[in-house]
Amino acid sequence: MSPLGNASKVQKAPNESLSRLVHKALDLNGSIIEQLFYEMQTQRNQKLFEEVRILCWVCTSANTANRSVHVKATWGRRCNKIIFISEEEDDFLPTIKVDARPGREGLWAKTVHAFNYIFDNYINDYDWFLKADDDSYVLVDNLRKLLLPYDPNDPDYFGFHFKTIVPRGYMSGGAGYALSREAVKRLVTRAFAGEITKCPNQTADGSEDADLGRCLDYAEVYPGDSRDEKGHFRFYPFVAENYVHPDLSEREWWYWYFIKWPHKGGADCCSKHPITFHYMTPHHLYMMEHLVYNQVMFSVTDVMAAENPGPDNIEQAEQVAKKITVGSTTTTPSATSLTEALVQSTKQPKS
């Protein structure tokens, strides 16, 4: 039997609501809805995978390499390429060994080595270059959605924006940051190559993210605004529970003095398309992976605009039913045809 299950002929009862009609038409007792949305999501993500090529580099160390194993098994699979930068060799990941001290004192050296390595080996193979820590979770598909409108040949730089230290601010290292191809070129050829003497050398042991912000600022690469249309952040330097709890706004915290844009806690804290969370345990990584990619939350009212069940929308719902049921014969249509029917039906009627 097709994974879509059997479609049934639908008859609209008098005064039947749009939501009820759609439930009948799409046979929610079967697997048809899950198959529809799985295919739609898969097609969209595959298209973005090809159009927005992202190399992810993960900062790790000998003491935390066990965390990188879980990164590789979860979100790292969605990067076009992933590399791990460490002061020690690890054949399993594998790592790229660089001359750096372990711990926070070696973060800047790893950052300099990583971008030099990327410039020498991959600069023309990918469009964007994401830095993340080994205790981060990245929704790479959402990152691609953010980056799609931008040209990688422009000097762009996205992340969680802190407003201090650097004149235009800098992006949090823990939340991760994405640099365009042109941004990496300027960073390496202008800042790291010595053209700009104010950029710290790789032996410095300051804050990696602020130092990178300084170098990029001198190389004329400035922080971009990655917030969504509602002004919500998409990159987060802490775990999600730090934001969703409503007492966030009441908390006395250094965070408020560093952030570029206003923020509040509670149900409306965060973007519907978040990109990163930080300080994530391996347990968090697998939980996020399961919730994001293996659970389906479906609302007929969202898909079919049932909040406005006017005559046009009822007609659209009936058209979906006709797509599913042809004549008096029970059919099993393809997921592609159902996807097309559903997408067409979701278009809002003209006023």
Q: What is the pLDDT of residue 116?
A: 96
Q: Is the pLDDT of residue 141 over 60?
A: yes
Q: Which tens digit of pLDDT belongs to each residue from 95-119?
A: 999 999 888 889 999 999 999 999 9
Least confident of 78-82, 223-227, 252-256, 271-275: 252-256
Position 148 confidence tier, pLDDT thresholds 50, 70, 90: very high
Q: What is the CA radius of gyration of the chain?
A: 24
Distance from the Cα of residue 197 to its chain's centroid? 35
Section 49-69 average pLDDT: 94
Section 297-317 average pLDDT: 48
CA 178, CA 28: separation in Å to the nearest integer? 40
Residue with more model confidence, 24 or 214: 214
- Would you call 235 helix, strand, or coil by DSSP? strand
Q: What is the pLDDT of residue 304?
A: 45
CA 198, CA 345: separation in Å to the nearest integer? 57
- Exposed e or buried b per residue across 226-238, where buried means at least 16 C-beta atoms within 10 angstroms of its C-beta: bbeeeebbbbbbb
Give the count of beta carbons closer than 10 Å to the beta carbon of residue 127: 20
For strands 54-59 and 128-133, give the pairing: parallel
Position 308 confidence tier, pLDDT thresholds 50, 70, 90: very low
Return the amino acid letter for 231: G
Position 344 confidence tier, pLDDT thresholds 50, 70, 90: low
CA 201, CA 193: separation in Å to the nearest integer? 10
202 burial type by CB count under 10 A (0-12 exposed, 13-18 middle, 19+ buried): middle
Q: Is the pLDDT of residue 144 over 50?
A: yes
Q: What is the pLDDT of residue 12?
A: 52
Tally of residues, the chain? 351
CA 153, CA 183: separation in Å to the nearest integer? 8
CA 273, CA 311: separation in Å to the nearest integer? 33
Q: Is the pLDDT of residue 11 over 80?
A: no
Q: What is the pLDDT of residue 102?
A: 86
- Would you call 167 helix, strand, or coil by DSSP? coil
127: nearest Cα among 190, 55, 225, 185: 55
Q: Which tens digit of pLDDT belongs to each residue from 15-38?
A: 555 555 555 555 544 456 666 667
Give the contacts of 213 (CB within 8 A, at least 6 positions apart). 165, 166, 169, 170, 171, 223
Query: What is the pTM for the complete model shown?
Result: 0.77
